[in-house]
Structure 1
Amino acid sequence: MSFPLGPFPTSERLRFRLPSANDAGFYLNLMNEPDYIRFISDAGIRTAEQAMQYIKGKSLARFAAHGVGLWLVELKETGEPIGVCGLVVRKELKYPDLGFALLEAFRGQGFGREAGQAVLDFTRKDLKLRALCAITHPENTRSANLLRKIGFEADGQRHLSEIGETSDYFVWKLRYVESGLA
């Protein structure tokens, strides 16, 4: 497998990087938080070894296949991992899917919005993409509100066989102001 060496999104308080096997403990914690299981998925990750296999077989595999995936997001100041954010390419969706998840201790502090905006900026400037989508569990109003704050618009629902559920569907499209600037 080969992985992109950069550039990666960045923001004032956050650094994005590829996950590694050393992040297994963080993934184990994140993927077993109640909101993660409720709103994203219960991947059955219950040990550090399973988390390491997930990183290699799923997370890094997405980067190898598509050049993008869910970057590990850490605080610039301390290097502490706080979540994941990035783009997921799904066969059933027209555009790459903006995905994000933060540890509960870091929610409500603007990190989700900052991470999402950093990925949008990276998408526009570095990847030259003009549209993205996002999906959320229909009861996940917090994530839906965050998506609206960074410029996504609700566009109904989609049933994805990949996840086996119907999700609320959002679209972000690059809009130009009259002066021609993005």
Structure 2
Amino acid sequence: MHILDTQRLSLREFTPLDAPFLLELLNEPGWIRNISNPGVRTPDDALAWAEGRLFKVYRELGHGFWAVQRRSDGELVGMCGLFKRPALPEPDLGYALLARHEGHGYALEAARGCVALARERFGWPVLMAITAVDNPASVALLARLGFVEQGQKQLEGYSEPSRVFSLKL
């Protein structure tokens, strides 16, 4: 299902056909370093991960992490979206790109679209975000969006504390 378009990007729900892309994304060194190592090593693992982390959430909440693709050629470049973690009081913004697509402004562009969606479609008063403690690129992106750091918190499922940010919408 189509979610939104930006100038250069289109965001849509992931489908089972995206399992090979998810396998690649989940095994990027940046994903493993800054998000987690989910142990996804095969397309079947990627499909099972997507069922639990993406498809189920779409059905239950009506939002989640979406596929980000270039409008010019349809190439998948990453994921971006809105997610409600039990450990945070408000929904949060998340994003990740394949390394070869970093540095083109795609994460900022997709994130801006998701922030607008949180405000305009969902009517949320606050949006949160988390980063790894040592992830200056994400911290800079969140600052450009207007997020304010709230400190660090140990979140369930993460071995290290996370930096927590919020944005009043």
Normalised by the length of structure 1, the TM-score is: 0.89
For these two proteins, the number of residue pairs brought into alignment is: 169
Q: Secondary structure at the match of 2:149?
A: strand
What amino acid is aligned across from residue 106 of structure 1 in structure 2? H
RMSD: 1.1
Query: What residue identity is the alignment partner of 1:109?
Result: H
Change over 3 Å in CA distance of 1:158–1:9 after alignment to 2: farther
* 1:118 alignment partner AA: G
What pairs up with 1:90-109 in 2 under 5 angstroms? 90-109=85-104
Runs of 4+ in 1 over 2 A off after TM superposition: 162-165
Decide whether aligned partners of structure 1 residues 110 and 59 sit closer, same or farther in structure 2, where only a CA change above 3 A counts: same
Q: How does 1:32-181 map to 2 (within 5 A)?
A: 32-174=27-169
Identity, % of aligned positions: 37
Q: Deviations over 1:41-82 (max 9, x none)?
A: 100000111111111222111111211110011011111110
Structure 2: stretches of 5+ with no match in the other structure: none
Matched residue SS, 2:56: helix
What are structure 1's unaligned runs of at least 5 residues?
175-182
Counterpart check, 1:28 vs 2:23: yes
Shift of 1:163: 2.8
Matched residue type, 2:98: L
> How far did 1:10 drift?
2.1
Q: Normalising by structure 2, report the TM-score.
A: 0.96
Q: What is the rounded CA distance, in whole Å, between the counterparts of 1:83 and 1:144 in structure 2?
A: 18
Determine which structure has more spread, i.e. the larger CA radius of gyration.
Answer: 1
- Deviation track 1:111-163 (CA, whole Å, cap 9, x = no partner) reads 01001100011111111112100000000110011000011011111111233
